[in-house]
Amino acid sequence: MKIAVVILNWNGKALLEEFLPSVIKYSEEATIYLADNASTDGSIPYVKAAFAEVKIIKNEVNGGYAKGYNDALSKIEADIYCLLNSDVEVTKDWLVPVLENFTNRSDIAAIQPKILDYKKKTYFEYAGAAGGFIDKLGYPYCRGRIFDTLEEDTGQYNDTVPIFWASGACLFIKKQVFEEVGKLDEDFFAHQEEIDLCWRIQNHGYTILYEGNSTVYHLGGATLNSMNPKKTFLNFRNSLYLLVKNVPGNKVWSLIFLRMLLDGIAAIRFLTQGKFSHFFAIIKAHLNFYLNFRTLTKKRKKLLKAGKYYSVFSVVWQYFILKHKHFKQL
């Protein structure tokens, strides 16, 4: 299979200097692309001079993760895309088990490797860890990471198992499936767009896999860290987008109402902590949701018949009330 490793970049020259060498060293099976979102920091001249083997695609605007990848991937011929963050260090033979899975199983549409923390390499990293799931209320969580609790990697997830969503930090996907399910939703801009994509993949009857025999290290928060209110806005807004678009049945509306009440509690918590910018980010997220509600319901009409999408009713209840901090306790 022909595989393309595609690194999306926006003014990330320093990250490319640090992380691109490992990708080049350990990706002999792939063609490597830099998809640049209209950077102004000299990223492109640097890569051209230092890594002549990397192919460069210049996007005209910074359309975020979703549009950036949609624009770039439309120009790449490959059987498998690897959407790789610019702040990821890969390891020897990381592509081998992934390609074996795609070759041996026709039902596999997407794969995520084990994602560990670049700064604390014996621990799982927030964005994906050992594969993602979602509870009935739309809160994502991972094997190896629930909210801000990260498990140490002791080999407990050295397996190959189906998951609900694969992290956009390192997401392998068949080109044919990517196009069939409708690509990334550009209205998300960034954050949780990979969960939306994976949900649609599931609804089309494909399997998403976690491959614990492939390991990468993710820095995380390099583009937008958790202290940035824009990230709060995107996470809260996109969670509502995600539910309206994908939850099957008429009960979605009562679910949305309950989720908005929980968002209100989170907003009050930010207010009591003096984090006023994050409080207003949630208010802004809800206003944006109202403004785009009609567009979301039109997208919902395209929803395929889907079954149960969750195995845990409320990870919030499990984590904060029952104090279940690890995946195996859920």
Residue 222, pLDDT score = 60
Average pLDDT (92-96) is 98
Q: Would you place residue 303 in the very low, low, confident or very high pLDDT band (cuts 50, 70, 90)?
A: confident
Q: What is the mean pLDDT of the chain?
A: 96
DSSP 258: H
CB atoms near residue 141 (< 10 Å): 22
Tell me what the mean pLDDT of segment 128-137 comes to: 97
CB 179 within 8 A of CB 151: no
Residue ranges in 76-189 assigned as alpha helix (H)? 96-104, 175-180
Torsion of CA 16, 19, 24, 30, to 10 degrees: -90
What is the pLDDT, as a whole number, of residue 301?
A: 86
Report the C-alpha gap between 303 and 306 in whole angstroms.
Answer: 8
- Using DSSP, state whether 174 is helix, strand or coil: strand
Question: What is the SS3 assignment for 222?
Answer: coil
Q: Choose between 95 and 226: higher pLDDT.
A: 95
What is the per-residue pLDDT across 145-204, written as a single tens digit (0 to 9) for each?
A: 999 999 999 999 999 999 999 999 999 999 999 999 999 999 999 899 999 999 999 999
Q: What is the mean pLDDT of residues 138-146?
A: 97
- DSSP per position, 276-293: HHHHHHHHHHHHHHHHTH
pLDDT score of 65: 95
Measured distance CA(91)–CA(135) in Å, rounded: 32
Q: Mapping DSSP to helix (H, G, I), strand (E, B) and coil, where does residue 71 land?
A: helix
Burial of 230 (0-12, 13-18, 19+ CB in 10 A): middle
| pLDDT tens string 222-280 | 666 667 999 999 999 999 999 999 999 888 999 999 999 999 999 999 999 999 999 99
DSSP secondary structure letters along 295-317: HHHHHHTTPPP-----S-S-HHI
**How confident is the model over 288-301, as pLDDT tens digits?**
999 999 999 999 98
Q: What pLDDT shows up at residue 224?
A: 63
Cα distances (Å, whole numbers) of residue 322 to 132, 262, 316, 317:
21, 17, 9, 6
Contact status, residue 165 vs residue 238, Cβ threshold 8 Å:
no
| pTM (global) more than 0.75 | yes
Q: What is the pLDDT of residue 302?
A: 85
Q: Is-contact 115 157, C-beta < 8 A? A: no
> Cα(328)–Cα(290) distance, rounded to whole angstroms?
37
Q: For 21-76, how does the pLDDT look when each residue is reduced to its tens digit (9 = 90+)?
A: 999 999 999 999 999 999 999 999 999 999 999 999 999 999 999 999 999 999 99
Domain boundaries, the chain: 90-330
Distance CA 189, CA 216 (A): 24
pLDDT confidence of residue 305: 75
3-state DSSP: the chain helix, strand, coil percent, rounded to 5? 40, 20, 40
Question: What whole-number distance in Å separates Cα of residue 11 and Cα of residue 59?
Answer: 13
Closest CA to 293 of 260, 316, 267: 260
Place 139 in a pLDDT band, splitting at 50, 70 and 90. very high
* Confidence (pLDDT) at 227: 79
